Amino acid sequence: MRILILGGDGYLGWPTAMHFSDAGHEVTVADSFAKRKWEVELGIAPLAPVPSLHHRVRSWKRITGKTITMRVGDLTNARSVYGLLEEARPDAIVHYGEQPSAPYSMQNRTAAVETQVNNVVGTLNVLFAMRHACPDAHLVKLGTMGEYGTPNIDIEEGYLTVTHNGRSDTMLYPKKPASFYHLSKVHDSHNIEFACRIWGVRATDLNQGVVYGVDTDHTLRDPLLRTSFHYDHVFGTVINRFLVQASLGAPLSVYGKGGQTRGFLDIRDTVQCVDLAVHNPAAAGEFRVFNQFTEQYSVLDLAHRVQAAGARAGLAVQLEHLDNPRAEAEEHYYNASHSHLADLGLVPHLLTDDSLDRMLAVVHAQSGGVDRADLAPTIKWKGGGARVQV
């Protein structure tokens, strides 16, 4: 297949590109390097330096003999997106190319607008360019479980059948997201569903849980093939951040009571889920929604699991409950359905003690350059934070 990976320089995009290339597909990666710019602006960096995409693509060719085509382009630039799709003529488009952080979007007006313009306009451009250049291609779009929020009823996979005044209909599951970033994903979902319903686009919206992990089989082949790993309070996801704190002997920062429960998955399962979606495409006109996670945990459960992994590694790790910078329920009902990917054959890598121990060992070995200042959450959902500005 011809597969186009948007956001191919990112934490998830690069391992996905290597996976499909290794399997013999014709892979193009595209990225604007916006994430690298945001890192520089915020003064934060991944745990270990990440070679440029150019260097990684060349290294991949040298190590495997396989070609990944690279294009630089901003998805908010319509001309660039049309050109990209006309050239790549993809059978499948895997769309990771968005601003991925809730705290980033909650800094101030500028960051909220930037997040929504980047994500919503970028995806709209992809939809229009698909209609023009490759109307039969399958869009596999990364959304987030955070689109649903934490409703006091079971979360279904995308749709809810409602009976109202004696009549029934099935509609998109109502969303109650908790940041301007998560809202951008909700807006994307509505725009994609509309394009499927009106134009006959085929799309799969992957409502992904929180990803953890350092490596996939492909990143392990050579340090020059590594992917980014963030531990900072803006881009670091919770397990990754806890692993770095544990490796430093710093307290694990639990926001509030820690009863916040979410879906989680291993980075290797992100790649596996995307592979399953690509190889089992949605029908023309179908807007398919998969809840992409493998296990549910509360933040406090995870802190205890990482604390225990620290103890096994001889590290004395404490927990610290911080005032929650976010506005979110800290004790709530959470039961999210996630059977569609399992039905397609997903075999999950679960968060075992063994996998935690291995991740902690890798992180510990790389933690020499950690800037502890980047761990403290300074962006507040209410009342503004350290970066209050227009």
Ligand X SMILES: NC(=O)c1ccc[n+]([C@@H]2O[C@H](COP(=O)([O-])OP(=O)(O)OC[C@H]3O[C@@H](n4cnc5c(N)ncnc54)[C@H](O)[C@@H]3O)[C@@H](O)[C@H]2O)c1
Question: What amino acid positions are annotated as catalytic residues?
Answer: 144, 181, 185
| Binding string, residues 234-273; x marks residues near ligand X by CB under 6 A | ---x------------------------------------
Q: DSSP letters along 179-222, please? A: SHHHHHHHHHHHHHHHHHHHH--EEEEEEE-EEE-S--TTGGG-
Q: Which two tokens stand for residue 87?
A: 């050239």
Least distance from ligand X to the Cβ atom of residue 390, Å: 22
Nearer to ligand X, 59 or 315 (CB): 59
Nearer to ligand X, 149 or 285 (CB): 149
Nearer to ligand X, 119 or 253 (CB): 119
Window 198-217: residues binding ligand X (CB under 6 A):
208, 210-211
| Binding string, residues 326-355; x marks residues near ligand X by CB under 6 A | ------------------------------
Nearer to ligand X, 99 or 247 (CB): 99
Cα gap 7→2, rounded to integer Å: 16
Binding residues for ligand X, rule CB under 6 A, total: 28
Q: DSSP letters along 238-307, please? A: HHHHHHHHHHHTPPEEEETTS--EEEEEEHHHHHHHHHHHHHSPPPTT-EEEEEE-SEEEEHHHHHHHHH
Window 59-78: residues binding ligand X (CB under 6 A):
74-76
Q: Does residue 219 touch ligand X according to CB under 6 A?
A: no
Window 269-298: residues binding ligand X (CB under 6 A):
none
Nearer to ligand X, 59 or 200 (CB): 59
Q: Which two tokens stand for residue 285?
A: 């006109």
Q: Does residue 142 touch ligand X according to CB under 6 A?
A: yes
Q: Which residue number is nearest to ligand X in terms of Cβ?
A: 10
Q: Which member of 122, 213, 281, 377 binds ligand X (CB under 6 A)?
A: 122
Q: Nearest-CA neighbor of 2 among 133, 193, 195? A: 133
Window 19-38: residues binding ligand X (CB under 6 A):
31-35
Q: Using an 8 Å Cβ cutoff, are 363 and 243 in contact?
A: yes
Judged by DSSP in three states, 312 sits in helix
**122-133 vs 180-199: helix crossing angle, rounded to 10:** 20
Q: Find the distance separating the first CA and the last CA of the chain, reported in whole Å.
A: 45
Window 90-119: residues binding ligand X (CB under 6 A):
96-100, 118
Nearer to ligand X, 41 or 323 (CB): 41
Judged by DSSP in three states, 6 sits in strand
Least distance from ligand X to the Cβ atom of residue 165, Å: 36
Residue 12 CB coordination number (10 Å): 23
Q: Nearest-CA neighbor of 243 among 378, 365, 377, 330? A: 365
* Backbone phi, psi, residue 217, to 5°: -55, -35
Least distance from ligand X to the Cβ atom of residue 71, Å: 10
- For CA atoms 112, 118, 123, 124, give the dihedral sign: positive
Least distance from ligand X to the Cβ atom of residue 102, Å: 9
Least distance from ligand X to the Cβ atom of residue 316, Å: 28
Q: Which member of 3, 9, 114, 325 binds ligand X (CB under 6 A)?
A: 9
Q: Does residue 15 touch ligand X according to CB under 6 A?
A: no
Nearer to ligand X, 97 or 310 (CB): 97
Q: Nearest-CA neighbor of 158 among 105, 203, 93, 112? A: 203
Cα gap 347→21, rounded to integer Å: 21
Residue 256 CB coordination number (10 Å): 18
Q: Which member of 3, 4, 5, 11 binds ligand X (CB under 6 A)?
A: 11
Nearer to ligand X, 117 or 284 (CB): 117
Exposed, middle or buried, 261 (CB in 10 Å: 0-12/13-18/19+)? buried
Contact residues toward ligand X (CB under 6 A) are 7, 9-13, 31-35, 74-76, 96-100, 118, 122, 142, 144, 208, 210-211, 228, 237
